[in-house]
A = this chain, B = another copy of it.
Amino acid sequence: MGVDSGVFDGTESVHNLARALVDFPSPSGGEGELATSLEAALRCASHLEVIRHGNTVAARTDQGFPSRVVWAGHIDTVPANGNDRASVSDGFLGGRGSVDMKSGVAIGVKLAIELTDPSVDVTWIFYDNEEVESAKNGLGLFGAAHPEWVSGDFAIVGEPSNAIVEGGCNGTIRVEVSAAGKRAHSARSWRGLNAIHCAHEILERLVSYQPATVDVDGLAYREGMNAVGIRGGVAGNVIPDDCTVTVNYRFAPDKSVSDAFAHVRELFEGFEVVVVDEAPGAHPGLTHPLVQEFVTTLGVEVAPKYGWTDVARFGEWGIPALHYGPGDPSLAHADDERVEIAQIEACYQGLKSWLGSH
């Protein structure tokens, strides 16, 4: 490789690179220095064309293959909380970002530089601001500014997936369901109508709701319908005239956002329902030949993805996408976030063998 650009020492193992990346802080909004180092390292690789947009850095081969794979990973993390330094023990790498997703970034950078002669054209996207509001998302902004750079036959999002393949993702819609009442002094409560008491019916419907499990491309997507917030009350001596329940519906990727909204509106018929935010799900795309080959070559389990991730952006761009990365996603953002080093190596080898042998 011969690349030695600070943190990106090409002679290091992928897990040592992951460790160095954990020690290189890049909380959302503070990715500039890491993006600059990354850009410098990628620019040293003559087989890559490199572009930078804000703190998103992308690199691609252009060897004229009929197929192109897009790999994407975010370089930002949630803020550290006493875990800003990498630690290694018992075969695990710990520290902020070890799971979400500096280990995945390490795999992406190392392969981008190493695979000078891949068997398929590859676009590598390292983007910022994934852990904050959608409007700042580096992948979204980069794709809007440079649509030709995010196009391909199939996308791999390097988010932690416990080193198995997770296909697609559930969609999510958040609505506010409100019960109305009439204010009165609580000393004469019979003159009013208690909106919090009326919201009993909203909770009743939530408690009675049986969430579905939906088969899409052979994967079983488990749905969820939950109150994630409730607020009501004017003052300690006032019968409240408003109570609002925030409901989050996680829906299988067989439904559109408007299907999901119709379902929620029907469930809460008789109450005011207002959409707060929404994001479509993503089909797993497992029927695509290139995806089938990827899964076969890796020989790993394929499962549905529940959390909403940037695979849905690729879904919107019409590109099948899946997750493949080291680390247990349930440890993402945890203070004891840590990843099995064997998983980092496994994903690195898995991707390398497929991209090299295809």
Contacts and interface: CB of A to CB of B under 8 A. Distances in A.
Contacts of A238: 228
User: Chain A's interface: helix, strand, loop or mixed, by majority?
Assistant: mixed
The list of the 7 closest CB pairs from A to B, nearest first, reads A229-B233, A200-B203, A196-B227, A189-B224, A187-B307, A187-B306, A230-B232
B237 A233 contact: no
A317 to B, nearest CB: 22
Interface in A137-155: none
Contact of A240 (B170, B185, B227): B227
Interface string A237-249: 1111001011010
Contacts of A191: 330
Task: Give the number of copies in the complex.
Answer: 2
Given A196-B245, A200-B200, A204-B200, A187 B250 contact: yes
A349 interface: no
Interface residues of A, number: 48
Contacts of A276: 236
A276 B245 CA distance: 24
Contact of A228 (B174, B239, B246): B239
Contacts of A226: 186, 189, 194, 196-197, 239
A220 interface: no
A21 to B, nearest CB: 24
B236 A229 contact: yes
Interface string A96-125: 000000000000000000000000000000
Contact of A199 (B170, B172, B203, B308): B203
B243 A248 contact: no
B224 A232 contact: no
Interface string A246-284: 101010000000000000000000000000110000000
A82 to B, nearest CB: 19
A234 B248 CA distance: 13
B236 A194 contact: no
Contacts of A235: 228
A297 to B, nearest CB: 28
